[in-house]
Chains A and B, each alone.
Chain A
Amino acid sequence: MGKIIDERILAGKRKINSSAFGICFLALWGILLYRQLILHQDIREYADIFLLTVGISIYVVVNNILQGFYYTYRSRSTQKKTLLIGALTGTIVFSTVQVLIMNYDLTNGKDVSKLILQAIIFLAVWIACQHALFKISEKQADKDIE
């Protein structure tokens, strides 16, 4: 066996890089929210940051799925709980954004029923997508031991 790389230093450096990435990632989302909600800028004014943030998010999720890490390390019950909490949070955020941006009138029955219908569709699509992602990730994880 030849000389090996000092794994302790390698792991330490990776940890630093990983936490730096985490900070940048959170900062990017913070900047996006600040520009959208506080400065009320047009999306064209921060399209570069928006694309970068969304691109990185997609990169993280896709790589986790391809490597088989997408919640496969959690128990079935935790997976279901995570799926449900994520779906409900997503639906609440989606509905809130709809009310704020689309100027829905919550005293108008038609608007409310439209909002409820959209929320139900969003919830169903979210759960179906997440379930599919869990399954793909699990398949990828099993591939390594076949």
Chain B
Amino acid sequence: MGDKNNKLKLARIERDLTQEQLADKIGVTRQTIGLIEAGKYNPTIKLCIAICKELNKTLDDIFWED
């Protein structure tokens, strides 16, 4: 399995959103957001873009590994 996506978690907390609130805004389930943050699910580029737009971040900010 992949590494944890802490950048997503931090960006979400920065916006003061719970996993469920972010999931509702995008139209996915809380579990999907949880799995992405845990590095256990690889989202498609479409979902990545939707997450980034909702969090007002770029793909690099959230999904690019350092």
* Interface range on chain A (Cβ under 8 Å from partner): under 10
Residues of B within 8 A of A2 (CB): 27
**Hey, which chain B residues are within 8 Å of A3, CB to CB?**
26-27
Chain B contact residue count (CB 8 A cutoff): 15
B27 near A5 (CB under 8 angstroms)? yes
Contact of A7 among B31, B46, B53 (CB under 8 A): B46
Q: Is the beta-carbon distance between A9 and B29 smaller than 8 angstroms?
A: yes
State A2–B53 Cα separation when bound (angstroms): 11
Given contacts A1-B50, A1-B53, contact A8 B41 (CB under 8 A): yes
Minimal beta-carbon separation of A115 from chain B (angstroms): 53
The answer to whether A8 and B27 touch across the interface, beta carbons within 8 angstroms, is no
State the Cβ distance, A112 to closest chain B Cβ, in Å: 57
In whole angstroms, what is the CA distance A4 to B27 when docked? 5
B28, B43, B49 — most chain A CB neighbours (10 Å):
B28
Q: Which residues of A contact B32 (CB under 8 A)?
A: 6-9
Tell me which residues across on chain B come within 8 A of A8, comparing CB atoms: 28-29, 31-32, 35, 41, 43
Q: Is B13 an interface residue (CB 8 A)?
A: no
Do B44 and A7 touch (CB < 8 A)?
Answer: yes
Task: Give Cα A4 to B23, complex, Å.
Answer: 10
B59 proximal to A (CB < 8 A): no
Which A residues are CB-close (under 8 A) to B43? Answer: 7-8
- Which residues of B are at the interface with A, using a C-beta cutoff of 8 A? 26-29, 31-32, 35, 41, 43-44, 46-47, 49-50, 53
Contacts A3-B26, A7-B28 supplied; 15 other A-B pairs, CB < 8 Å: A3-B27, A4-B26, A4-B27, A4-B28, A4-B47, A6-B27, A6-B28, A6-B32, A7-B44, A7-B46, A7-B47, A8-B29, A8-B32, A8-B35, A8-B41
